[in-house]
Amino acid sequence: MNIAHWLYQTARARPRVAAVKLGTALVCDYATLARRAQALSRQLGARGVGAGDRVALFAANCPEYLEILHACWWLGATVVPINYKLHPREAAWIIEDCGARLALTGAGEMGGLGLLPEGCTEIAIDSEAYRAAVTEKAALSAPPPQDAGAVAWLFYTSGTTGRPKGVMLSHGNLLAMAMAYTMDVDHIAPGDHSLYAAPMSHGAGLYALPFIRAGAAHVIPASGGFDPAEIIALAGDLGGLCFFAAPTMIKRLVTAAKAVGYRGEGIRTIVYGGGPMYGADIDEALAQFGPRFVQIYGQGETPMTITALPRDLVADDSHPDWRARRDSVGFAQAPVEVRILADDGTPLPPGKPGEIAVRGATVMLGYWNRPEATAETIVDGWLRTGDLGCLDADGFLTLTDRSKDVIISGGSNIYPREVEEALLLHPSVHEVSVIGSPDPEWGETVVAFVVAAPGASCDQPTLDDWCRSHIAGFKRPKRYVFTDALPKNSYGKVLKTELRQQLAPGR
Ligand code: AMP
């Protein structure tokens, strides 16, 4: 099956139903969305993009996002959506790594900065060339069939090694993920609005698929991102709003709602995940908005689909174990099995903590051009998540820790090594170690411990400027601690636990 077939079917069954809105303004119906996607696919083909080729998409959330995804699939190509918050240099690295033939960018920034890799052409979405490419008026015809194992989406996740890896998601993976949404997360009703308050290059965009299938409308906020006041206004104007939000976004939404006495009217469902939701925060959100929340736990390697905690169980406070259940991430979603593994890889019984492993139809094919990393991550058919957790006797999974050193700030993953490597390029930096520090608003913030090079001095503004030109803004340390030496063990490994203690209150 070709995942673009869902758009083709909805366009024929519900041609005049609203498909895309920018804020409250209608952009196009389903017939137009499908026609534009097909027209764009032909233009991409005319520019030499063929089945199996990679097409990069480096743009903020915009009304064109869905037609670009579908144009690639219509052609049998693989789309590579890149987080628009990345620095263009980081995007250039991804474009080169995946060997993209073509890059669609918001305003032609790759070529403009001289960062477009050789062999790759660029189309700016805000250009006349793009507008011409989507206007062809040919009759709609079915997208060509695809093997379920063909790569539909290359999802770049940051790696502990400092460089992101491309997770290969097949048409079959996306199908299984979308079906799990309707089985385990929520049903989609006519008149619902899928709102994109989080980057469409990630989970929020992947979740567009079940809404395409159902013929619901897709709403791009005029701000392009997450603005609590705008969401409250859109909920009132549109109704039936469903969206994915990181826990920190929910916290900000609840604070804004309290300030204006808003109780969630017009919001149908908020799916939360991507980072830990603290018990007090979900309690407060439920008290303000009522049972509008569903939790999911997933990762790029099995997108949005490891476990889910359904709406009724998030809200339940009558079961003897309700507190533990609300603080868990729920139970395995329909397409997958979940196991806990000991250090030696043997499965552990309920109640014993270990590494979470997943097997099933949503698990990636592997990492793009990284057979060793794939072999380390998928062992005997089981995906090693790198997360630590514990299953209870009823199948509820509680995350205990992350075995990787990842920092999750505002729902975005930041790998310390990436930040450390950028800082170490600065001539005045001798040694550096980056950790996450608990933060009530962002979950965690990035803190860098820096040892200056002999005879050199460094300061926060200099290093901040340096980071701005090397890494994405959200990865920049919010705080620097300048020190004479880093604490290390006898193997010379920096003791991050000691650094965390140094930041503990009272130290
Ligand atoms: P990504 O691959 O960027 O989607 O990040 C996935 C990681 O985010 C997971 O491996 C977890 O560490 C974390 N994560 C995702 N969902 C949840 C959740 N519901 N609760 C806690 N952490 C989560």
Residues 394-442: tens digit of each pLDDT = 999 999 766 667 788 988 888 887 898 889 889 999 889 999 999 988 9
Distance 497 CA to ligand 1 centre (A): 22
Contact 259, 266 (CB under 8 A): no
The counts of H helices and E strands in the chain are 18, 26
- List the one residue out of 438, 501, 156 whose CA is nearest residue 276: 438
Place of tokens 């009724």: 312
Distance 399 CA to ligand 1 centre (A): 10
Which residue among 158, 167, 299, 325 is best mutated to probe the pocket of ligand 1, counting the most ligand atoms within 8 A of its Cβ? 299
Q: Which CATH class is domain 407-502?
A: alpha beta
Sign of CA dihedral 164, 501, 249, 327: positive
Residues written for the chain: 507
Contact between residue 211 and residue 178 where contact means Cβ atoms under 8 Å apart = no
The band of 280, judged by pLDDT with boundaries at 50, 70 and 90, is: confident
Residue of 92, 48, 100, 42 lying closest to 67 (CA atoms): 42
Which one, of 333, 334, 326, lies nearest residue 308 by Cα? 333
Say how far apart CA 292 and CA 46 lie, in whole Å: 46
Residue 504: what pLDDT? 82
Q: Whose CA is nearest to atom 1 of ligand 1?
A: 299
Ligand 1: distance of its center to the CA of 275 in Å?
Answer: 5
Which residues, 6+ apart, have CB-to-CB distance to 301 below 8 Å? 157, 167, 363, 364, 377, 383, 385
pLDDT at 401: 64
pLDDT tens, position by position, 438-455: 998 898 999 999 999 989
What CATH architecture is 5-390? 3-Layer(aba) Sandwich (3.40)
328 lines ligand 1 (CB under 6 A): no
Q: Which atom of ligand 1 approaches the CA of 277 most closely? A: 20
Question: Which among 289, 210, 273, 211 is positioned nearest to 21, based on CA atoms?
Answer: 211
Dist. CA 377–CA 364, nearest whole Å: 10
Q: Whose CA is nearest to atom 6 of ligand 1?
A: 299
Q: Cβ(99) to ligand 1 under 6 A?
A: no
Which of 185, 306, 327, 399 is the best mutation target for the ligand 1 pocket, counting ligand atoms within 8 Å of the beta carbon and taking the most? Answer: 399
Please tell me if the CB atom of residue 306 comes closer than 6 angstroms to any atom of ligand 1.
no
- Rounded to whole angstroms, the Cα distance separating 463 from 471 reads 12
Spacing, Cα 298 to ligand 1 middle (Å): 6
Q: What is the residue with the minimal CA distance to atom 9 of ligand 1?
A: 299
Tell me the pTM. Answer: 0.88
Beta-bridge mates of residue 446: 436
| CA-closest candidate to residue 408, choices 373, 435, 377, 432 | 435
Residue 493 has pLDDT above 80, yes or no: no
Q: How far apart are CA 340 and CA 389, in angstroms?
A: 7
* Closest atom, ligand 1, to C-alpha of 155: 2
Asked if residue 300 has its Cβ within 6 Å of ligand 1, the reply is: yes
Domain boundaries, the chain: 5-390, 407-502
In this prediction, residue 141 has a pLDDT band, given cuts at 50, 70 and 90, of very high
